[in-house]
Every structure is written in C-alpha cells, then in structure tokens.
C-alpha cells in the first residue's frame, strides 16, 4: 500500500546513494513531484478509532459517568454519595438516576437523603456551553433519616466540603461551655493553677515587653533631641557675649553677634518644638499602655471563670447553668445548619467575577478551572423550580412532606433572585403535628445573606442528658423553633424549645451514688414538669457568643444557692484570691513600670522645657544688650 | 521493556521511512501536542485529524506523543502558571475568555483550565522550534548514520515484522 506523496516502491530512496544509470537524482528538483498536502485515506483509520470510542461509550460510558458522579458528589458534599444506576437518554438530553443515597456527614450510619428515582431533563443549547439548565426535574420516592446497611466512609480527601466540615468542628470547639458540677464544696482542698495558663498573666508579660519597647523608643527620641548640645551652644554664646555691647563690639561685631544670637535662638525654638512633639507622643504611648493595663482586668474575669471551671466549682449564675445544660445541644444544631449554609456559599458564590475552582481529576495535573461569567448568559447550573415529596421513615419527624425549591444556581447574580426553599408536612403521623422549614439564600449581592427558619409543633423532642446527674430529660411533645441568619460573617441563631410534658428518666449508663448537693438538685429538677428554653448564638462567625436561658437553670440556680450558696461563695473567694495573687505577682511590676515611665517622661519634658525657656530669655536679654534695645527676638 | 522496544522500533522506522525530513518534523511537532497537552480534550481530536489527513509522518507523530508525555507531566507546573497568567492575571484579555467560555462549542474546549490552556499555548510556541529541530536531526542522521543502520541485521528484522506493514499505511 502506498500513500499520496510517498516514493514508489522500487524507486530510489530520497537519501540513499543513487543507483548507476537509474535515472535522475532525488535531489533533482526538475523531476520532483509537486508535494501533496492531504492524505484523505487517513480518515478511514480515524473513523475506525472513533467507532471504537463510540463502542466503548456504549459499553462502559454510563458506568464511567456513574462512578465519576459518585466521586465528584462525595467530594462536593463531604459525605458519601451512592448511585445504584444511571441511564443517559441522549435523544431527550436527559439523565435518569436511581437508588441515590447521600450519607449524613455528621452520622456515618444514617442517610441524610435517599432518592428512589431522579429524572433530570436538560435544555440542549446550554450543554454546548458546558452548562446545565434543568428544564424538568422529577424526583420520586424520597426518604430521609434512613439507616445505612454499611457505615459511610469518611471523606478525608481534600476539597471544599471535608475542609468545611473540619472547619465547622473547629468552630463548635471554640465555645467555652460551662461545666455543670455538683462536687461537694468541702472536697475542694486547694487550687493548683499554672500561671502560664492564665490569660491575664500572659497579657501582663506581653505588656511588660511592650512597656520596655515603648521606653526604649522614647529614650531614642529624647536622645535625638540633642538637648544638651543646644543648651551648651547657647551657653557658650552667652558666655562669649557676656558684658559686651554695641560700643565694645563695634557695628560689624554687633551685627555678627545679633546674627549668632538669632541663629542660636532658632535652634532653641526648634528643640523646644521637638520637646513638645516628644511630650505628645509619650502621652499617647503611655495612655495606650494604661489602656492595656485596664484590659488586664477583663482578662482577670475570664481567669476567674477558668479557675472555677478547673476545680469544677458550680456556678449559681442562671446563664452559666443554662449554657451548661443546653450549650452543646444548641451548638450541635447550629453547627449543622451552618455547614450547609457554608456549602451553599461555596457553590453559589455572589458576584460575576471570574471564579476559580480545582480542575478535573486526571493523571495529569488538575490545574485550576476559571469560570468566566457574563451578564445575560446561562449560569453553569440552574434549576428554576423543583417540587418533590419526601417520606421521612425514621426518627421523631417521620411522615410525608412536600418540598419546593426555586432558583438553585451556581451564579445567583445572573439569575438575579435568591434561592428559596420550603418544606412542609403533608400528612399527620406519629412523630409531629406540624413542621415547616423555609429559607432563602440570597447571594445576588456582594454580601451574601442566608436565612433558615424551622418551626415544629407537636413534635417529639429528643431526650438529652443532664450533665453531672444520672438523669435524662424527656421533653415529650412540644414546640421547637430555630431561626438562623448569616449576614456576611455575622451570625444570629435563635433556638427555642417549649414543652409541658417534661418527664425525667434515670440514665442507666450513668447511674452513680449521689452526693448531698446532687440529691437535692435532682429532687428539685425531677419535679419540674415543663421546659422553656431559649438559646442564642450571636456575633461574628469567627467569635460567636452563646447565651442560653431556661426555667431549669433558674430552678437549679435557686436550689444551689439555697443549699450551698455560702460554701460556694467562700470557695469562689478562695479561687479569686489565688488568681489575684498569681496575676498581681506578674502585673504589679508592669503597673509600676508604666507609672515610672509616665513620671520619668513628665519630669524630663518639664526639665527640658524649663532649661530651654531660661536660655531663650537669656538670649533675648543679650540681644537687647548687644543691639542697644533696637532689635528683639521674634 | 516492551514499550521501550516499541519506541525504539518506531524511532528507527520513522527515521528510515520514505518521508522527507520536513514531513517527519511536522509529524513530530503535531504529535508533541498529544504528549504535552492533556489528552482528553477537543483540540487533540483536531491534532489527530490533522496527523491522519495531512501528508505528514503519522509514525513520527505517534513517536512524539510517546516521547512528550513524560515531558508534559514534568512541565505541568509551568503550564499551570502560564495558564493562570493568561486566564487570571492578564486582565486585558479577560473579555476574550469570557466570550470564549460563553460561546457554544468553544466552551467545550476546556480552555478555562489553566493546565489545558497553558500546555496548548506552550506547544503552539514550541511548534516551529520542534519542527525545525526534528527536521535538522533527521537530515543529520540520514547523512551520517542512516545507511549503516539500514544495512544492519537489526533493521532488517524490524522491517520484516508484521507491525511494520500496519505502520506503512500511514507512512508519508
């Protein structure tokens, strides 16, 4: 077989030695054929190759797509995603999925969501722009909270979702939830505190360093004034001109003397100005040090709390008890809501600037994929509206629900409207009388604002343990309202629980012999038939504050106060005294050093002012003497 | 080992084919795209099509593919940086990428990925140097070692193999 442009077989090779008498040399251009550019026969094997690729797609395409989808989904959600079957309907530009299960990222043995069948019909035109616009979404057989046959694998790999999960776990750990302890006060013999653990000691040490560096800085500035040189120069001139006048100096000498006095007086003025500048700088620096000194008192208050916690000294402040009783359960609730909000912010970022994301996984480096968005274009993903029915088969909220979601998109700025979602209970069941979850994710503007509201009435509330006591509170049926607003990085979460069917169950696992205080508190607590709890987490996402109040903490606080108020107060005084002695040991020298610095600076400045002013007066007097009173200093 | 032998076989056959040095150089320069850039992309389909229908050395293209794959892996960080500069840092051409990324079919080229774009641009820049260098190397080889290798036993064994017949389908 030969191809166009090739040399005929049997002919001379283009680079070999020419055969004798076998015709023209291959380098003879007069006989060279015109080069042929195209080799159309090459299309045949190319078509064969494409046929092989098409065959591979038919045999393994859906399987490959399914496993890719599972991998990408798992990475995106931070929880295992399983898809039992996937079918691609090319003619309808649709995908049909069945047996979808998304594991709960907070509980490996539960599925957050199970979908029996999901049919997604896509608009064909946006597909050519690598964009997914869902024109029809049909979801059937949705269940939530189902138990998994095998635990979901942990998603430890990189990607946003696992890191968001870790971030949320870190976020939850930053809360300083007070301990609820009923340790008898007489068992508190001594307080062993490491001074290095105390915030105010650390702050005092840092402040001491700051004071030293401030002193060194002021010393340098003072030295740069060259005060003594100015004074020496002024005094030398005064000595030189002492007893002289215009008659003894002559006109020329008097003119020179006037000029010298004026120059020296200008130097004195300049130094005086620099002294004033130094005085102002020193005042600001020392004020700042004293401000920092005052903040040591705030730090000391947190040290009292730390020391109290260290020896498990019970507090009879109701807010502390409320936080101890319901703090962890509140943080857990808000943490879960925040996780999904954070994911939504990642996948639905505000604005139209190019957005970077990790490139597709392949043997070669993944690189970064940059998404360029222009106004009035399709977003990369858009679900205009989705309606679904959900069956929750497990847990206290089991029953049938209907849900609706609108404007789910990767580019909210293009859609120009927030994503809205709502879930409401469709039929009564055993677990809950009414449940309504709604929310909006407004990422249209630069500052994202997410709101989530959940209202449940007649719901079987989950039981929770009472820290320090072998009892679980069983709230029975009641109401639970959760509202979470995340505006930029400002978090406001409010959760209320109310019930009139509160009962108390002995915790068989935590059964122990109760001491006197525990017995008394337990007796009062177990007599409380209702629960009204309000929990708030407010502030910046990086530094939120937890506040919980409930009728239980008021009851416990009153009981503690009446039973052991005096002993607790005495122990608390002991704790404060110990903290004070440790903190004072470090902070007293700092206070003294700052006071000394202020006094030193004031003295030096006053001294410099006095000397300079005195010299200035002498120079003025000398000038008058030299000039016969005709010239004065400005 | 087998891959190495195949590579060697391909190299010898390419150098001793009836193709002109220019055809081999062009084949190598085109085939370098398959190795330097990420393979599963639309532009490589075009490169394959060109290798098949243009009267250039297909074997040289396949050889270059094999040779440039490790080079591509090695240069991935460089491609990433070049691509990042073009896509993110060079704000003056941002409108071009915005249009490109929102134009049907063109959006499928994956030029919004730093490695894909960076490797393609580097290949385009290196296309002429690779072509000229390969052409020069072939001319030098044929003028010096070519005839000696052609007369060797190794070459005759290689030429008689079945794979050679298949290869001849594509030789220029």
pLDDT reported for residue A531: 87
ipTM of the complex, rounded to two decimals: 0.73
Q: Mind telling me how many Å the CA of B107 is from chain A's nearest CA? A: 5
Write out the DSSP string of A166-228. HHHHHHHHT--PPP-----GGG-------GGG-HHHHHHHHHHHHHHHHHHHHHHHHHHT-HH
Predicted pLDDT of residue A610: 92
pLDDT of residue B76: 94
Rounded to an integer, the average pLDDT of B148-164 is: 69
Give the chain B residue whose CA is nearest to the CA of A358.
B113
pLDDT score, position B11: 66
Mean pLDDT of the region B17-43: 89
Asked if the Cβ–Cβ distance from B38 to A362 is below 8 Å, we say yes
- pLDDT per residue as tens digits for the range A131-140: 888 888 888 7
> Exposure of A271 by Cβ count < 10 A (0-12 exposed, 13-18 middle, 19+ buried)?
buried
Single pTM value for the model: 0.53
Picking from A41, A133, A362, A367 by the largest number of B CB atoms within 10 A of its own CB, the best residue to mutate is A367
Strand order in the sheet with A503-506: A464-465, A471-474, A503-506
Beta strand pairing status for A107-122 and A146-147? antiparallel
Domain ranges of chain B: 2-168
Rounded to a whole number, what is the distance in Å from the CA of B63 to chain A's nearest CA? 17
Measured between alpha carbons, how far is B42 from B106 in angstroms, rounded to an integer?
Answer: 9
CB of A34 within 8 Å of any CB in chain B? no
Which residue numbers in chain A have pLDDT < 50?
A: 1-30, 188
> What is the C-alpha separation between B172 and A5, in angstroms, rounded?
6
What is the reported pLDDT for A126? 86
**Contacts (Cβ under 8 Å, ≥6 apart) of A301:** none
Which of B102, B112, B113 is the closest to A374 by Cβ?
B102
Residue A304: other Cβ atoms inside 10 A: 19
Contact B101 A40 (CB under 8 A): no
Q: Do B52 and A43 touch (CB under 8 A)?
A: yes
Please state the φ and ψ torsions of residue A411, each to the nearest 5 degrees: -130, 80
Reply yes or no on whether the pLDDT at B14 is more than 70: no
DSSP state of A61: I
- Would an 8 Å CB–CB cutoff place B147 in contact with chain A? yes
Closest by Cβ to A15, choosing from B55, B94, B142: B142
How far apart (Å, rounded) are the C-alpha atoms in residues A110 and A151? 8
């Amino acid at each position: 077989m030969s191809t166009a442009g090739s040399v005929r077989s049997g002919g001379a090779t283009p680079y070999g030695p020419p055969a004798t008498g076998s015709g023209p040399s291959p380098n003879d251009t007069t006989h060279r054929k015109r080069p042929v550019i195209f080799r159309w026969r090459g299309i045949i094997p190319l078509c064969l190759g494409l046929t092989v690729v098409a065959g591979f797609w038919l045999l393994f395409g859906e399987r490959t797509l399914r496993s890719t989808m599972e991998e990408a989904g798992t990475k995106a959600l931070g929880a295992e995603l399983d898809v039992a079957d996937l079918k691609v309907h090319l003619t309808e530009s649709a995908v049909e999925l069945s047996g979808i299960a998304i594991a709960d990222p907070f509980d490996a043995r539960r599925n957050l969501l199970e979908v029996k069948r999901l049919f997604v019909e896509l608009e064909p035109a946006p597909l050519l722009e690598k964009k997914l616009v869902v024109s029809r979404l049909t979801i059937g057989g949705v269940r939530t909270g189902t138990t998994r046959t095998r635990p979901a694998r942990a998603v430890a790999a990189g990607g946003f979702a696992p890191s968001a999960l870790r971030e949320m776990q870190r976020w939850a750990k930053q809360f300083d939830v007070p301990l609820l302890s009923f340790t008898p006060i007489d068992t508190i013999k001594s307080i062993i505190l490491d001074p290095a653990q105390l915030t105010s000691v650390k702050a005092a040490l840092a402040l001491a360093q700051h004071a030293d560096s401030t002193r060194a800085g002021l010393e340098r500035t003072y030295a740069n004034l060259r005060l003594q040189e100015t004074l020496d120069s002024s005094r030398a001139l005064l000595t030189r001109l002492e007893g002289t006048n215009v008659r003894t100096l002559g006109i020329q000498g008097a003119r020179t003397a006037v000029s010298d006095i004026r120059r020296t007086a200008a130097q004195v003025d300049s130094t005086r100005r620099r002294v004033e500048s130094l005085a102002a700088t020193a005042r600001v620096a020392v004020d700042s040090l004293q401000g920092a000194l005052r903040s040591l008192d705030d730090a000391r208050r947190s040290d009292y709390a730390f020391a109290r916690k260290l020896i498990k000294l019970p507090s009879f402040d109701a807010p502390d008890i409320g936080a101890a009783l319901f703090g962890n359960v509140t943080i857990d609730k808000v943490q879960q809501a925040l996780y999904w909000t954070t994911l939504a912010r990642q996948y639905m970022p505000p604005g139209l600037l190019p957005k970077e994301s990790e490139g597709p996984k392949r043997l070669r480096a993944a690189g970064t994929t940059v998404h360029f968005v222009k106004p009035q274009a399709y977003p990369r993903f858009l679900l205009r509206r989705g309606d679904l029915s959900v069956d929750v088969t497990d847990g206290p909220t089991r029953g049938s629900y209907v849900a609706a979601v609108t404007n789910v998109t990767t580019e909210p700025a293009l859609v120009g409207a927030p994503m809205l979602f709502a879930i409401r209970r469709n039929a009564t069941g055993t677990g809950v009388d009414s449940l309504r979850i709604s929310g909006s994710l407004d990422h249209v503007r630069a500052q994202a604002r997410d709101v989530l509201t959940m209202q449940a009435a007649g719901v079987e509330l989950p039981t929770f343990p009472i820290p320090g006591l072998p009892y679980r509170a069983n709230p029975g049926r009641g109401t639970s309202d959760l509202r979470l607003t995340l505006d930029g990085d400002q978090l406001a979460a409010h959760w209320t629980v109310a019930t009139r069917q509160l009962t108390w169950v002995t915790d068989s696992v935590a059964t122990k012999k109760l001491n006197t205080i525990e017995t008394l508190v337990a007796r009062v607590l177990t007599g409380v038939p209702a629960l009204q709890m309000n929990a708030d987490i407010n502030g910046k996402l990086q530094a939120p504050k937890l506040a919980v109040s409930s009728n239980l903490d008021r009851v416990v606080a009153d009981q503690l106060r009446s039973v052991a108020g005096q002993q607790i107060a005495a122990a608390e005084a002991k704790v404060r005294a110990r903290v004070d002695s440790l903190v004072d040991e470090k902070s007293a020298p700092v206070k003294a050093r700052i006071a000394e610095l202020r006094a030193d600076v004031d003295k030096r400045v006053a001294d410099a002012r006095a000397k300079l002013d005195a010299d200035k007066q002498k120079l003025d007097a000398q000038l008058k003497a030299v000039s016969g009173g005709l010239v004065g200093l400005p | 080992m087998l891959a190495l032998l195949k590579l060697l076989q391909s190299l010898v056959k390419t150098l001793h084919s009836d193709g002109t040095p220019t055809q081999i150089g062009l084949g190598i320069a085109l085939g370098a795209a398959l190795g330097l850039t990420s393979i599963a992309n639309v532009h490589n389909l075009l490169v394959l099509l060109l290798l098949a229908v243009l009267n250039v050395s297909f074997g040289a293209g396949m050889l270059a593919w094999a040779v440039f794959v490790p080079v591509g892996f090695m240069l991935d960080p460089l491609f990433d940086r070049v691509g990042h500069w073009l896509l993110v840092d060079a704000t003056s051409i941002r409108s071009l990428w915005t249009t490109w990324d929102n134009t049907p079919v063109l959006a499928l080229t994956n030029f919004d990925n730093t490695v894909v774009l960076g490797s393609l641009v580097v290949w385009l820049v290196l296309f002429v140097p690779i072509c000229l260098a390969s052409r020069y190397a072939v001319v030098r080889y044929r003028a010096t070692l070519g005839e000696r290798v052609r007369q060797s036993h190794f070459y005759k064994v290689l030429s008689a193999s079945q794979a050679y017949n298949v290869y001849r389908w594509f030789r220029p």
